[in-house]
Amino acid sequence: MSPVGAIVRKEIRSYFVSPIAYVVAAVFLLLIGLLSFLAAVTASNRSLQMLRGQGNLPDLNLNDIVFRPVFYNMAVVLLLVVPILTMRLFAEEKKLKTMELLMTSPVTVTDIVVGKFFAAFAVFAGMLVLTAVGPLALAPFAPFRWEPILTAYLGVLLMGGLFLSAGLLASGLTENQIIAVILSFGGLLLFWLFGWAGQVFADSAFGKVLTYLSPLEHFEHLVKGLVTTSDLVYFMAGIVFTLFLAHRVIESQRWR
């Protein structure tokens, strides 16, 4: 097993021996389940109303009225739970002085950062797979298209990856897990609000830059079923760049 593999395995293991993975997954799935249920009930009420009003079964697009709001809300929930998922990755190692073991072992800082990221990503992806219960349960009762749902999942995966890399960076900055949570939550919310600020300054180049920097618009495209290279590049570059920053932070701590 490669050193990266060993780190991934150790991190995934430690998610499941502590209650963190269970609590985060339980809260996340509960909220997503409730949101999906509310969206489905709202849609069915609306179709009943239209049936009474028009006398025939309306041609409702489930992708638009059920799944899209669920995915938007999922992003908001991620904003809350991802920092919890990443808070201990470096902070705990530094606090318990186990970082010294990693730093004196023949593994590179890149191995460590990448290993930890993939472990968190695997746990997150596992949680996400479980949310597929929603569309799978609806499929026998109503027609909808799977393609936009798959692209939306791609969007959630990429956005989650970006959030995770930011959380990893925040955890690398401190040995206090609470500070790591606050830093990553604050940072993510800031970038989220860039989207709003971008609308305020929509006419200027500044506004365009802000809109581009915010993950919101890129995510919206994917949820609508629109896959563009520009959005994929945004997420991939964002993840790689944030991991690079985390690498620099950890590397610089070696000198002190």
Partner 1 sequence: MIQVEHLTKHYGPKVAIDDVSFSVEKGEVLAFLGPNGAGKTTTMRILTASLPATSGTARVAGYDCFDHPREVKRAIGYLPEVPPLYTEMTVTEYLTFVGRIKGMDAERLSGALDRTLEQLSLGEVRERLIANLSHGFKQRVGLAQALIHDPPVLILDEPTVGLDPKQIIEIRQLIKALAGSRTIILSTHILPEATAVAQRVVIIHEGRIVAEDSQDQLSARLRRSEKVRVTLKHPPPDARERLQALPGVLSVHSEGPITFLVEAELGQDLRDDLARFAVRNDWGLLELKLVTMTLEDVFLRLTKEEDTPTHPSPLEGEGKGEGDAPEAQPS
Does 98 sit near partner 1 (CB under 8 A)? yes
Does 20 sit near partner 1 (CB under 8 A)? no
Tell me whether residue 5 or residue 126 sits nearer to partner 1 (CB atom): 5
Does 23 sit near partner 1 (CB under 8 A)? no
**Given the rule CB under 8 A, which of 2-10, 55-63, 70-78, 219-227 is the region that contacts partner 1?**
2-10
Contacts of 196 (CB under 8 A, 6+ apart): none
Other C-beta atoms lying within 10 Å of the C-beta of residue 17: 8
Shortest distance (Å) from residue 7 CB to partner 1: 7
Does 254 sit near partner 1 (CB under 8 A)? yes
Tell me whether residue 88 or residue 221 sits nearer to partner 1 (CB atom): 88
Shortest distance (Å) from residue 16 CB to partner 1: 10
Tell me whether residue 19 or residue 186 sits nearer to partner 1 (CB atom): 19
Residues 106-125 that bind partner 1 (CB under 8 A): 106-108
Q: Which long-range contacts (CB under 8 A, 24 or more apart) does 102-110 make?
A: 102/7, 103/254, 105/3, 106/3, 107/3, 107/4, 107/7, 109/247, 109/250, 109/251, 109/254, 110/247
**Given the rule CB under 8 A, which of 47-55, 90-98, 128-136, 184-192 is the region that contacts partner 1?**
90-98
**Given the rule CB under 8 A, which of 9-17, 57-65, 142-150, 225-233 is the region that contacts partner 1?**
9-17
